[in-house]
Amino acid sequence: MAAALVVAFVAYQQWGTALAHWQGQRDLRSRFDQALAHTRSEQHPGHPVPDVAYPAVGAPVGIIVIPRIGLDQVIVEGVGADQLAVGPGHYPGTPLPGQPGNAAIAGHRTTHGAPFNGLAEMQVGDPIEITTLQGHFTYRVTGSEVVSPDDGAVLDPTADAQLTLTTCTPKYSAAQRLVVVARLVTPAAPATPIPKSDTTGDVAGSDTAASPSTWLVLGASSAALVGLVAGFGALRRRSRGRRPGLCRVAQWLAVPIGLILLYVAFAALDNLLPASF
């Protein structure tokens, strides 16, 4: 039983998190398309590049396209577990992509859709295209490095318009961070003031304490799953050879309910584990 649960959790890490990721991407893209259409409809003819407000955590920031690794996804504001589960996350406290300064984005490498899975394949000169509410911007890669998880220097402000991409390395490990740096080669957009409450902190992926609600969800779903299995087993023993129809109905009900409880428990457990991109 334990081995089966381990295999099931590994499968959840690869495919269950990917399902949630793509659902999140669909929602983010719809929200971004609506915001972009609204911005263009309100755009003043004398201001070809509009000013924009700094986005709230969880809001779509723009679309990032990296031809080298086949990436085309919506960037979400924030680098917490909830944000990185649905897409590449923009570090709060850094400039928005396309603006002057060091705009930084983090992404998973092996789970949750693995948007930055191929980041190690990036080469100097590779283009990175980003579309925001302010327009379309092109960056070109200038280099990469591996740093420790708590090396926040890669997020420091820069005089020029720079893009910093971070993810965990090696694959299936959070031991270090792979950092890819690119320079803006198209004109920069007007800068958006960064709220004082926003800070960059450590490079995304450092361990954080789980909220009490996560432990509660894990405990409740696990207890319910154990109770479901125990109850179904007791029903089978009592009805064996006497009421087979009742056992079949109970099984049809127990299987989907059990799968839902298992999914909820795995999702909570995933949030409790050390970050692994």
pLDDT digits (tens, 9 = 90+) for 233-259: 676 677 665 666 666 666 666 678 867
201 located within any domain: no
Hey, what are 199's tokens? 């800070």
CATH number where 60 lies:
2.40.260.10
pLDDT for 23-80, tens place per residue?
A: 999 999 999 999 999 988 877 766 678 889 999 999 999 999 999 999 999 999 999 8
257 located within any domain: yes
User: Is the same domain home to 148 and 16?
Assistant: yes
Strands (E), the chain: 60-66, 71-77, 89-90, 102-106, 127-132, 135-147, 162-169, 176-184
202 located within any domain: no
Q: Are strands 127-132 and 135-147 parallel, antiparallel or unpaired?
A: antiparallel
User: Is the same domain home to 171 and 217?
Assistant: no
Percent of the chain past pLDDT 70, that is, above it, reads: 75
Domain boundaries, position 224: 212-272
pLDDT at res. 206: 45
Helix (H, G, I), strand (E, B) or coil at 127: strand
Counting the structural domains of the chain, the total is 2
- CA proximity to 98, closest of 184, 23, 33: 184
Provide the pLDDT confidence category of residue 263 given band limits of 50, 70 and 90: low
pLDDT at res. 240: 64
Q: Are strands 135-147 and 102-106 parallel, antiparallel or unpaired?
A: unpaired
Q: Is the dihedral of CA 210, 216, 217, 219 positive or negative?
A: positive
pLDDT for 199-221, tens place per residue?
A: 555 666 544 445 677 778 778 88
In terms of pLDDT, which residue wins out, 119 or 209? Answer: 119
- Domain end, chosen from 142, 168, 184, is at 184
